[in-house]
Structure 1
């Protein structure tokens, strides 16, 4: 019996056993430990024949280096329980199915590897075998349509065009007796990494015995251009987002030649095509802008891609376009006047229809639209949460919609959607039982019209053991971005229910500038980066107090991170209605943020020109301008490795608070960047925030001195 067949039999037995009803458990209050230790289900990747789904499953830990991330497999018809197919210390990245639906490729760093390499696992049996041996590492594998070669990416040294010249460059750097970074262009940092002079490259690894990988792009004139680069990644590298052409004779990728223009202009990208054997790349479609997520229809006749024109606006809606193939040329807009951004999409096997995931007012729905173009039609409307990823097998006999579905009270699971009924059923239930034991409720939604005539969407989250006849303190949480929104989804950074767990109602407002409400709404924040959105949030607090008798708006704190931290600092400068404020990674001076962040031109667009121009925004909407008015107690937190909102802003805020003798507390996390990602740092962050809120909203003892080592003392949750 083959390994996959054996899996079907044994897993079906497991599925039968798991159907036994569990004993009812009392509802528990969400804790950091419960939240952090929830397993995390990655996005689905369906085999071309439509029979299988693989996904990553992360099993977290508080202990250093003890988190586990492996690949799992489950049949798309739900006939068997999921099974783990990899088990190694290092996790697997960017898995990809072979055209034969039998093998998968992925990038990982296993024992004996100095850097990550591409491995291939045959699901019929045996261990994964290493397919590449590249000094500079191998990432993001893509199978050639015939299954006989793999395209992958690597970051290579300047001027290096093959393995030998890369090795020489690496040896020279290793031999240096000094440590110094040199820059002649902007940007020099990205998120939490200093950039180096390596560049992205494309390699082809034939799968014949003894064949060596070959860099197909570094020797081209395009790659030698001074401003050549790919889309930046959080690890300091860059990606060209390559894919094979349908016949396997060409490679398509997204690149820029304007990388060093970032200090004074938008950086535009082109969608390129080139022979897989080498040669000079050419533009597949003539217009430059921002491209993303390119995919071919299964019949090979059309290339689908996200595109926006990168104009001088603070936000441009990415829309789906179609390029005829193999002709190439001008792209055709597919979604017409549809005023929502497509988050993800997949193509049906008959190449006629696209299924889209679309965020809208905190939820994420599924739509469909013809490949020929037209008005998107709603297929599955999420009543809570939404569909955050979607995949369709390319060679299946009929359309199979496999997706990720989750909400603020339902950790994401892999599901199968029936496009006729718009309903789904789970293929995984990793956290389902655990979620049912927690005392939490889905957010309640409400809208109001602001004093500027804009309809503003809001959500409120209630605490455990909620009683609508009581009064609860209010925590106002402001999302980052601003081109983002409050989603009905679980998050670790500012988890709504973990904040509410100590007996607070949490208010979430999608102010002007938020996404999920159309392009004009997101653009309307231009030249009004803080004042207008903050006024809408204050109006939302008033509106929530009118609508919900259980909210005590006179007993409220407010906080946020990133742009939410900018707003927190603005609230400090402009109102005394809140009893306390929490600000993480917040700017206090638009000028300081412009000069020290990892990007700056977009800030000029938002503020009406460079700092030395005639725009009053730079001064008028910097919280530090109003330092003499600061009075509200404030908790400040920052990651020392944050280059998006460098710690200098937090130190300016701290100096101003101390100068004005405002009660304040400063928390610096040396290992953190824009996000606090280490488990113990995260747990400590929540302890400190809960201690701060408990003192000002519940009268608990003030937090003094060193770090809090246990949760704050309990106090009545409501009156």
Structure 2
């Protein structure tokens, strides 16, 4: 980063360079990463691909063309890239001699008349590389391109079954599919496309992968043995069930003109989401995770092992117990193998952080629970095995004060060395770890609740500060010691607030009992936990003035804001902010993912209406009295726009000071940013990107 802020403002947050995780080359000497930066002066975004020297931490520019993306190592000094072109086309290109002092050379392999993404490669021989990617595919199994396909004469949409729209899009007949091929290196040293071109691995099946809307490279993997991937069960309606299965397609050359039929991996008793399939280095084993429930999107993930890809019926579960709950009370996520395939590394949340864990790669040998591997401050975002003689990991982390940090963990020596911090551990932002803290308080039941704290960088313990009370979404989610451009506690703290971010009932990373306790009890224990948190702040944080307090939340956090409005805790705050929240729980059936209310409200609206009505914020609208900002998005199909319009109508009709902010072209709050931040506009304007929310909140909350 070249900027250095004297104060961390919304403009600094949004203009700060955003780095991707860095991916090391096979020898572990270099790493490649992308970095995006928005300029408020020029009103545009720039994008770079950079090469990091892991030993020195110094990086050099490889490309500054935003049309290039997804740099992927072919060898120690060659990168495969995607280049977006006109009318939705994509070019496959190679950047060679990336470490050459005079700069790299570039050439093109081939072009596709469609959008291509999520590339993965695997070396098959000294001259051959397997390639897989994903692309939108027509019902006939051909590459689809929405930009060039014939447009209908009518805008009408007709559907005859559930799941007709998802997240922010009305569904069409096109589906995502995985394609495979191979690249062959010629005598001149350049790669060419082998065979007659890419093959649709899922052609002739009802399967689609990656799983929308967030699926990507984590939904599939390739090896010298073939392809494994995750796909929804085609026999179950995706609106009602979360079930995704793991499939295997044996491939030896990746030039097979007709792929073998996908074979399902058998996991008896586990019927929920499947994630993170990862081949061992030998290509014979696969580690992955799976949930048990087929209607609970946040169920506990079980770490599983397929010891031999030749037998798909012999899946083994790590830490299995007779009662089916599992001995490790955590939710493993990302997975990588050690070089000799004897050790697994995985990430899992614990007490407000995403941590790195180590365990034997055989369930039979995993007699003790995983041991934690020390990493840099904050939460682990990505990890890779580093080449070399000693066992090392290249880890990307972020924290509440540092937006991107790369470090090397030496497993044999037990050391953790920071290679590069994008913000100099927060110094570039004027932030430091000393501004963060945490405390625990008694929950509504026989359990403790954890809360994170962020104080202003100019904090003086002898002064009093207003309170910013943040409520997370999910509801099965958590506030973590990690960076966010959506809800960044430091933004509020630098306006002069002390920020408290509690993780009440429903939160992840504190054991499944606390997480699962929210089902059927949305406004019960979670609300009372928040009441206890507010009281604990008043009693134990003398530098916080709870008479000057605001509360903010999004998604389920927005639900809780509306619930708080109708209950005594709502009168403790000077203002409330509800972002894409639930106004009426009965309207959960206007969502596209009906499995969510089916689980969390323990049945359907017509079979268990009382459960929906019990926790309905609209039922207590007569008690609403606190000024409120309502933020909602017109492309939010999980919580449609009426969930924002209705509470604003209530507030206005009751004469309660209130404002409505609408994003016409944005979706629900969990979406990753895909728009450039525009010029900050006056609050009265409705056409703004979600990235300007911190700016708007600054204007709204500053008077406190």
Q: TM-score range by the shorter chain?
A: 0.7 to 0.9
* 2:698 corresponding residue in structure 1: 690
Q: CA deviation at 1:444?
A: 1.0
The answer to whether the Cα contact below 8 Å between 1:97 and 1:105 also exists between their aligned partners in 2 is yes
- 1:521 and 1:383 mapped to 2: Cα distance? 27
Q: Pick from 189, 200, 203: which aligns with 2:165?
A: 189
Q: Which runs of 5+ in 1 are unaligned?
A: 1-17, 698-719
- 1:311 and 1:191 mapped to 2: Cα distance? 19
Greater strand content: 2
Is 1:334 aligned to residue 318 of structure 2?
Answer: yes
* 1:5 corresponding residue in structure 2: none
CA spacing shift, 1:617–1:117, aligned 2, 3 Å: farther
CA spacing shift, 1:74–1:365, aligned 2, 3 Å: same
The answer to whether the Cα contact below 8 Å between 1:411 and 1:432 also exists between their aligned partners in 2 is no
Q: CA deviation at 1:385?
A: 1.3
Q: CA deviation at 1:531?
A: 2.8
Q: TM-score, normalised by structure 1?
A: 0.85
Name the SS of the counterpart of 1:357 in structure 2.
strand
Q: Pick from 122, 138, 146: which aligns with 2:96?
A: 122
Q: CA deviation at 1:113?
A: 6.5
- 2:68 and 2:435 mapped to 1: Cα distance? 32
- 2:177 and 2:217 mapped to 1: Cα distance? 8
Q: CA deviation at 1:630?
A: 0.9
- 2:44 and 2:212 mapped to 1: Cα distance? 25
Name the SS of the counterpart of 1:133 in structure 2.
strand
Q: Pick from 82, 89, 109: which aligns with 2:84?
A: 109
Q: Pick from 679, 683, 689: which aligns with 2:677?
A: 679
Is 1:427 aligned to residue 435 of structure 2?
Answer: no
CA spacing shift, 1:29–1:427, aligned 2, 3 Å: same
* 1:716 corresponding residue in structure 2: none
- 1:473 and 1:555 mapped to 2: Cα distance? 5
- 1:619 and 1:325 mapped to 2: Cα distance? 50
Is 1:87 aligned to residue 69 of structure 2?
Answer: no
Q: CA deviation at 1:64?
A: 7.9
1:512-551 counterparts in 2 under 5 A?
Answer: 512-551=505-544
Q: Pick from 392, 397, 402: which aligns with 1:400?
A: 392
Is 1:670 aligned to residue 646 of structure 2?
Answer: no
* 1:272 corresponding residue in structure 2: 248
Is 1:653 aligned to residue 634 of structure 2?
Answer: no
- 2:38 and 2:424 mapped to 1: Cα distance? 17
Is 1:134 aligned to residue 134 of structure 2?
Answer: no
> Is 250-259 or 484-493 further displaced after alignment?
250-259
* 2:588 corresponding residue in structure 1: 593
Q: TM-score, normalised by structure 2?
A: 0.86
CA spacing shift, 1:49–1:185, aligned 2, 3 Å: farther
The answer to whether the Cα contact below 8 Å between 1:291 and 1:308 also exists between their aligned partners in 2 is yes
- 1:106 and 1:299 mapped to 2: Cα distance? 26
- 1:262 and 1:664 mapped to 2: Cα distance? 38
CA spacing shift, 1:653–1:343, aligned 2, 3 Å: same
- 2:391 and 2:233 mapped to 1: Cα distance? 39
CA spacing shift, 1:190–1:498, aligned 2, 3 Å: same
Q: Pick from 197, 208, 211: which aligns with 1:232?
A: 211
Q: Pick from 347, 366, 370: which aligns with 1:357?
A: 347
Equivalences, count: 655
CA spacing shift, 1:218–1:348, aligned 2, 3 Å: closer
Is 1:156 aligned to residue 134 of structure 2?
Answer: no
Name the SS of the counterpart of 2:244 in structure 1.
coil
Name the SS of the counterpart of 2:538 in structure 1.
helix
Deviations along 1:60-86, one digit per CA (max 9) or x if unpaired, are: 23378731233222233x146112222
- 2:600 and 2:329 mapped to 1: Cα distance? 21
- 1:175 and 1:513 mapped to 2: Cα distance? 45
* 1:497 corresponding residue in structure 2: 490
Q: Pick from 577, 584, 606: which aligns with 1:582?
A: 577
- 1:562 and 1:406 mapped to 2: Cα distance? 23
Greater helix content: 1
> Is 345-354 or 49-58 further displaced after alignment?
49-58
* 1:308 corresponding residue in structure 2: 291
Is 1:217 aligned to residue 211 of structure 2?
Answer: no
Q: Pick from 205, 214, 224: which aligns with 2:181?
A: 205
- 1:428 and 1:212 mapped to 2: Cα distance? 43
* 1:68 corresponding residue in structure 2: 46
* 1:717 corresponding residue in structure 2: none
- 2:297 and 2:233 mapped to 1: Cα distance? 22
- 1:535 and 1:679 mapped to 2: Cα distance? 37
- 2:410 and 2:577 mapped to 1: Cα distance? 44
Q: CA deviation at 1:567?
A: 0.7
The answer to whether the Cα contact below 8 Å between 2:232 and 2:238 also exists between their aligned partners in 1 is no
* 1:715 corresponding residue in structure 2: none
CA spacing shift, 1:80–1:636, aligned 2, 3 Å: closer
- State the superposition RMSD in angstroms: 2.8
- 1:184 and 1:294 mapped to 2: Cα distance? 34
Deviations along 1:584-641, one digit per CA (max 9) or x if unpaired, are: 111110111322x231122121112111113422111110011111111111111222
Q: CA deviation at 1:478?
A: 0.5
The answer to whether the Cα contact below 8 Å between 1:347 and 1:353 also exists between their aligned partners in 2 is yes
Q: CA deviation at 1:379?
A: 4.1
The answer to whether the Cα contact below 8 Å between 2:628 and 2:657 also exists between their aligned partners in 1 is yes
- 2:8 and 2:57 mapped to 1: Cα distance? 31
Q: CA deviation at 1:242?
A: 3.0
- 1:475 and 1:170 mapped to 2: Cα distance? 45
- 1:266 and 1:345 mapped to 2: Cα distance? 21
Is 1:480 aligned to residue 473 of structure 2?
Answer: yes
1:553-592 counterparts in 2 under 5 A?
Answer: 553-575=546-568, 576-592=571-587
- 2:27 and 2:97 mapped to 1: Cα distance? 14
Deviations along 1:337-382, one digit per CA (max 9) or x if unpaired, are: 1211223232111111112222211123222101013134434346
The answer to whether the Cα contact below 8 Å between 1:162 and 1:215 also exists between their aligned partners in 2 is no
Q: CA deviation at 1:204?
A: 2.4
* 2:20 corresponding residue in structure 1: 42
CA spacing shift, 1:627–1:553, aligned 2, 3 Å: same
